[in-house]
């Protein structure tokens, strides 16, 4: 996978939401989106 650079557009991807429904990044095209990633609890760093 290629590394993103500053101001590169994010590649489209799909993840399940809290209700198990798959959501794609392209579903939010034209809207502001904030992604919050954090390490899984109680896992080594």
Predicted pLDDT at 22: 95
High-pLDDT (> 90) share of the chain, %: 24
More confident residue, 27 or 42: 27
Predicted pLDDT at 9: 84
Average pLDDT of the chain? Answer: 83
Torsion of CA 16, 37, 6, 45, to 10 degrees: -130
Q: Report pTM.
A: 0.53
Say whether pLDDT at 24 is over 90.
yes
């Amino acid at each position: 996978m290629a590394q993103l650079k500053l101001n590169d557009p994010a590649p489209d991807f799909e993840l399940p939401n809290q209700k198990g429904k798959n959501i794609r990044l392209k579903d939010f095209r034209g809207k502001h989106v904030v992604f919050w990633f954090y390490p899984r609890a109680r896992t080594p760093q």
